[in-house]
Amino acid sequence: MPMPQPGLSVTSQNANCVGPECDQPTPHISIATPAPAPAPWTWQQSVAWGANLVLVVLGYIAIMMGLSLLRKIERQTEYAETAAQAAADAANAALVQAQVMARAERPWVLMSVRPAQNVEGGFAILATNRGRSPALILSTVDEIVSAVDESQLAPEPEFRNEPVAPSDPMILLPGEATEILSFSRADVQRVCETEERMKRVEKWEEKIFLYGKVVYCDLSAPDHAPAHESSWFAWYIHGRQKSGMVMGGRPAYNRHS
């Protein structure tokens, strides 16, 4: 019987077999072809694999360096923002300090009252420069009214006349004062037009109020600098024999800018 060749399947069967033994299965022999051995790499494949490995390593290094650089940039940005905020805070503080110094050096015209000399029951409204630089008076305006009390006055000062500029330049040096308005018992008759009203004032059933404002500027300030304003309010207390005057009034009548 010939031997089977590798990779071939051989089936043996006796065609002339007669009898029960012919019912037995015929042996089947299979021989598998062995897997071929892997071919060795060529030098081109080795070079390509090495190049790819180097590229992967370089790419990883580049990614890590990029992440590190981004973190450094983020930290530098935070430092820059902190420095910018500190510089802005310092600039604001310097601006506030400069404004405080400017306000301390500017003129401040404040209002007061004093008895008039050689005038019976007379009083004068004075504007005094309490600041540290000269003040130029730009205009003045005043009003004299009578009312039962302050609650009957308008919420804001109302003037029937327009502000009047001094005929001659009026400059107040630090500590100097000037008279803005005078009022005496002789002027009460001008306000109280009737005898009945005069009696009401003498009994304090009706009061005489004087108010006004002074607009001035700082001589040392630039031309475009805003002007300042000082408002005032006074109550003339009129009696049958004596009179007086006191400063007072609501905040709307006593503004300073």
Q: Using a CB cutoff of 8 Å and minimum separation of 24, what contacts does 85-94 make?
A: none
Task: Output the pLDDT for position 26.
Answer: 62
Q: What pLDDT score was predicted for residue 194?
A: 83
Give the tens place of pLDDT for each residue, 12-39: 445 555 555 555 566 666 666 676 777 7
Q: Residue 87's pLDDT band (boundaries 50, 70, 90)?
A: confident
Query: What's the pLDDT score for residue 123?
Result: 94
| Res 20: pLDDT | 54
CA dist 214 and 7 (Å) reads 125
Would you state the torsion angle of the CA atoms of residues 8, 14, 19, 23, taken in this order, to the nearest 10 degrees?
Answer: 10
Per the CB < 8 A criterion, the answer to whether 207 and 146 are in contact is yes
- Residue-level pLDDT at 10: 45
The per-residue pLDDT for 160 is: 92
Task: Give me the sign of the Cα torsion angle 236, 172, 163, 103.
Answer: negative
Distance of alpha carbon 162 from alpha carbon 142, whole angstroms: 9
**Whether residue 72 has pLDDT greater than 60:** yes
The predicted model gives 126-141 an average pLDDT of 94
Instruction: Read off the tokens for 215.
Output: 């607009």
* pLDDT mean over 84-109: 81
Between 10-14, 60-64, 162-166, the lowest mean confidence (pLDDT) is in: 10-14
- pLDDT of the residue at 65: 86
**CATH architecture of the domain covering 109-253:** Sandwich (2.60)
Q: Which of 123, 207, 217, 226 is nearest to 170 (CA)?
A: 217
Q: pLDDT digits over 212-231, tens only?
A: 999 999 988 877 888 999 99
Band (112; pLDDT cuts 50, 70, 90): very high
> Is the pLDDT score of 1 beyond 80?
no
Query: What's this model's pTM, rounded to 2 decimal places?
Result: 0.62
Domain ranges of the chain: 46-81, 109-253
For the cut 80, the answer to whether the pLDDT of residue 173 exceeds it is yes
pLDDT for 79: 84
